[in-house]
Structure formats: structure tokens, C-alpha cells
């Protein structure tokens, strides 16, 4: 009986220590990301469709300028752009060649999606803890996707190992009905996200890899125009 009690206490201590470590990692990441004012990055998005056993590959660019500007541009296989500025979203696609404007104040569901989007990309992970349970998986990167920009091994010396976190939606989270888990890998310098993997309830999977990322460089004002 004593061994059982001691074993239980040991497990509780380990769980508390793991939680404390994860909380410290989140604070460290949020502090690093708070120093980032602008981001420009290419991305490759791979969408695995379980029902068809196929993979869809999308390529594009993102631009962020704190506190309120966000631009998402899809280049391949189709052209689409979305620009968020303050409380407005503007969308454009090459097929229709039409610009659509949405007011977030008039669309609470869309506004909730945008808030989540900004939390992920702006690095406000303390807020994400309200909707997700977070576990630190490991301090080593996943194998890179073929064709991605590879960082030479010697360049990571003195910069620490990448952090990989798993986010699982809580019972009260709206995302729980759609998402099983989200795995986020950060750069070695912990200044930005390197990879996001989303596993959905329907067994679809999305992998978003960021490439050629530039931090705190001036951004051309044209990227905030939805149609170029």
C-alpha cells in the first residue's frame, strides 16, 4: 500500500513539474515573440484528405505588422488574398476578380475565427491556454518536408533546440468538435513558428511549413491592398 501511495505522489510531482516546465516555455516564447513587430514569410501548406487518400499542396506568403495588420496571400495553385486591418477583412480571388469586404463587428463567428488566428500568429499563448491543454513534446525538430529550406546544423549552435508543443482543445473549446490536436514547432531562436500540424476529427491533416521568414524588416505598404 505504501508503495502505491508513494508511486501516486511521485506521478503527481512529475505532472506538476511538467506543467511548470511547459508554462515556463510558453512564457519564454511569448516574451521572444513580443519583440517581433513585423513578419514576412513564405509558406507551403499540405492538406491530406483522408477520404480520398490524396494530398493538396498550396504555396503562398503571409505578412504581419503588429498590432492589427495581417495579410494572407495564396499564389499556387490559385490566386487568393485576404487582408485584415483593424475590424475589417477584405478578400479577393483571381477567378471572380471581385473584392469582398466583411465587418468583424457584424460577424461574431468570423470575428472569433480571426481572434484565434491572431493568437496563433501573434504569439499570445497565455490566451490560448483558455481553450487548449498544452504539452511540450520534445526539444528536437521533426524531419523537414522535402524541398523546404534547410538550416545548416552548425547554424543552431548557441541558439538552443527547437520547441515542439501539442495543443489539444478543451471540452469547452469550440475547436474541439473539429480538431483533435495541433502541433506547433518553433524556430531554434524561438522568435517565430516554423511548422504547424493540425489533425482533424475527420482524419484530415494539414501541415503548414514557413520558409524564408524575415523578422522586423520593413514591409511594403502594397501588401495591405487586397488586390495587386
Range of the domain at 166: 2-224
User: What CATH number should be reported for the domain holding residue 219?
Assistant: 2.50.20.10
- Note the pLDDT tens digit of each residue in 139-162: 544 444 444 443 333 333 335 567
The Cα 105–Cα 10 span in angstroms is: 50
Mean pLDDT (whole number) for 13-41:
70
Q: Which residue has the higher pLDDT, 21 or 191?
A: 191
pLDDT score recorded for residue 22: 75
Residue 178: its pLDDT value, please?
86
Q: How many domains does the chain have?
A: 1
- pLDDT digit string (tens) for 169-187? 999 887 888 889 999 898 8
Around Cβ 145, how many Cβ atoms within 10 Å? 13
The mean-pLDDT minimum among 78-87, 112-121, 171-180 falls in 112-121
Amino acid at each position: 500500500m505504501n508503495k502505491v501511495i508513494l508511486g501516486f505522489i511521485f506521478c503527481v510531482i512529475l505532472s506538476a513539474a511538467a506543467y511548470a516546465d511547459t508554462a515556463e516555455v510558453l512564457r519564454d516564447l511569448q516574451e521572444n515573440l513580443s519583440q517581433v513587430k513585423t513578419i514576412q514569410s513564405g509558406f507551403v501548406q499540405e492538406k491530406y484528405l483522408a477520404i480520398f487518400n490524396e494530398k493538396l499542396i498550396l504555396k503562398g506568403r503571409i505578412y504581419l505588422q503588429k498590432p492589427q495588420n495581417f495579410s494572407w496571400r495564396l499564389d499556387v495553385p490559385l490566386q487568393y488574398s485576404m487582408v485584415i486591418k483593424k475590424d475589417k477583412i477584405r478578400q479577393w480571388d483571381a477567378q471572380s476578380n471581385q473584392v469582398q469586404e466583411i465587418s468583424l463587428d457584424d460577424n461574431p463567428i468570423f470575428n472569433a475565427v480571426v481572434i484565434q488566428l491572431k493568437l496563433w500568429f501573434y504569439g499570445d499563448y497565455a490566451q490560448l491556454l483558455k481553450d487548449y491543454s498544452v504539452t511540450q513534446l520534445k526539444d528536437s525538430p521533426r524531419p523537414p518536408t522535402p524541398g523546404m529550406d534547410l538550416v545548416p546544423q552548425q547554424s543552431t549552435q548557441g541558439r538552443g533546440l527547437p520547441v515542439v508543443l501539442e495543443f489539444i482543445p478543451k471540452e469547452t473549446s469550440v475547436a474541439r468538435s473539429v480538431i483533435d490536436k495541433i502541433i506547433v514547432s518553433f524556430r531554434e531562436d524561438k522568435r517565430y513558428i516554423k511548422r504547424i500540424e493540425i489533425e482533424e476529427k475527420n482524419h484530415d491533416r494539414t501541415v503548414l511549413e514557413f520558409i524564408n521568414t524575415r523578422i522586423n524588416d520593413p514591409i511594403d505598404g502594397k501588401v495591405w491592398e487586397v488586390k495587386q
